[in-house]
Amino acid sequence: MSAESTAIPVPVLPVSAACKTVGSVAVADPLISARDVNVYYGEKRAIMDVNIDIARNQVLAMIGPSGCGKSTFLRCLNRMNDTIEGARVTGLISMEGSDIYDKRKDVVQLRARIGMVFQKPNPFPKTIYENVAYGPRIHGLAADRVELDEIVTTSLRRAGLWDEVKDRLNNPGTGLSGGQQQRLCIARTIAVNPEVILMDEPCSALDPIATARIEDLIDELRASYAIVIVTHSMQQAARVSQRTAYFHLGDLIEVGETDRIFTNPRHKLTEDYITGRFG
């Protein structure tokens, strides 16, 4: 992590008075701040004036009914929407005080700082070793083979996969089980040493045991990274996250401490959703 991140706390950006989101949108010393973010797919507005801060060393869960824009918002944070034809983002998203949509910003460096894990495990058609080594290689993080080996080993260990694959690092990554593949994808993401990890329903293709392993892993990773996770499972959100955001039809309805949201939701829509009256 860069030195500046620990030196001076990043100031909290003001939230406009028009923001109707219930709860504490802003946090002290935020890593990422989104202000009045809108996303359009062509003419269609998928995200409406969303304001939210992402704190360091914390898990933020994003919940909400299908199609409400969770993935869309998540993809704004590492500019993955750039790859979608017709997608347009307005508003301000800043990371440690600088606008990530700034024309002069290199998206490649941004994505090295903000990693992403997808709904379906998507290991590359390469060996397990090469899957993890891929990121460090393209960013030139390792000076030599020894250092690269070191990065691969540590990343696999931190992803909790090392013991299962240490004897077959040269086998194809696609030959692993679904849960192992997802942990491989997490290892691949950690290997470039990001500051934030975005996870879009990382457990939805996994069985309960594999899910439990990933949840444990998320809890451990929190010590070093800020994590944003999209999930359809309220139990999962309650188990792994410290803050929860509830989206509804493109609006960010409510944000707050996870315990508070699940025990004492303030907005009617949030209450309906978490008590199962919606979606």
Partner 1 sequence: MSTSALLLLIAAMAVLGYWLGKHRSLALVGGGRGIRQLHSLPGYYGLLTALWCALPCLAILLVWLAGQESVITTLVLRGLGTAATSEHASSGLLMNNIRNVAAGVIPADGVSPQVQAGAAEYLRLRSISAMAISGVILALGLAALFWVRARIAPQLRARNAVEAIAEKLLLACSTLAVFVTLGIVLSVAYESIRFFHSVPVHDFLFGIEWSPQTRMRDDQIGSSGSFGAVPLFLGTAMISGIAMLVAVPVGLFSAIYLSEYANRRFRSVAKPLLEILAGIPTVVYGFFAALTVGPILRGFGESVGLEVASESALAAGLVMGIMIIPFVSSLADDMITAVPQSLRDGAYALGATRSETIKQVVLRAALPGIVGGVLLAVSRAIGETMIVVMAAGLAANMTANPLDAVTTVTVQIVTLLTGDQEFDSPKTLAAFALGLVLFLVTLSLNVFALYIVRKYREQYE
Ligand X SMILES: Nc1ncnc2c1ncn2[C@@H]1O[C@H](COP(=O)(O)OP(=O)(O)OP(=O)(O)O)[C@@H](O)[C@H]1O
d(CA 212, CA 247): 25
Cα radius of gyration rounded to whole Å, the chain: 19
HSE toward the beta carbon, residue 114, CA cutoff 13 A: 25
Scanning the chain, the segments in alpha helix (DSSP H) are 4-7, 70-77, 107-113, 128-139, 145-158, 162-165, 178-191, 208-221, 234-240, 258-263, 268-274
Pick one of 3, 7, 43, 66: the residue that binds ligand X (CB under 6 A).
Answer: 66
Pick one of 24, 174, 224, 242: the residue that binds partner 1 (CB under 8 A).
Answer: 174
Smallest distance, partner 1 to C-beta of residue 174, A: 5
Is residue 1 near partner 1 by the rule CB under 8 A? no
Q: Which of residues 120-149 bind partner 1 (CB under 8 A)?
A: 120, 122-126, 134-135, 138-139
Pick one of 37, 52, 63, 68: the residue that binds ligand X (CB under 6 A).
Answer: 68
d(CA 183, CA 210): 9
Q: Which is nearer to ligand X, 45 or 139 (CB)?
A: 45
Is residue 179 near partner 1 by the rule CB under 8 A? no
Is residue 54 near partner 1 by the rule CB under 8 A? no
Is residue 67 near ligand X by the rule CB under 6 A? yes
Is residue 236 near ligand X by the rule CB under 6 A? no
Smallest distance, partner 1 to C-beta of residue 251, A: 26
Q: Which is nearer to Mg ion, 114 or 148 (CB)?
A: 114
Pick one of 23, 30, 69, 179: the residue that binds ligand X (CB under 6 A).
Answer: 69
User: Long-range contacts: 20-24, Cβ < 8 Å, 24+?
Assistant: 20/251, 21/50, 21/51, 21/52, 21/251, 21/252, 21/253, 21/254, 21/255, 22/253, 22/254, 22/255, 22/256, 22/266, 22/267, 22/270, 23/254, 23/255, 23/256, 23/261, 23/266, 24/255, 24/256
Is residue 231 near Mg ion by the rule CB under 5 A? no
Q: Which residues form the interface with partner 1 (CB under 8 A)?
A: 78, 80, 83, 85, 108-112, 115-116, 118, 120, 122-126, 134-135, 138-139, 172, 174, 185, 188-189, 192
Q: What is the binding site for ligand X (CB under 6 A)?
A: 41, 44, 46, 64, 66-72, 84
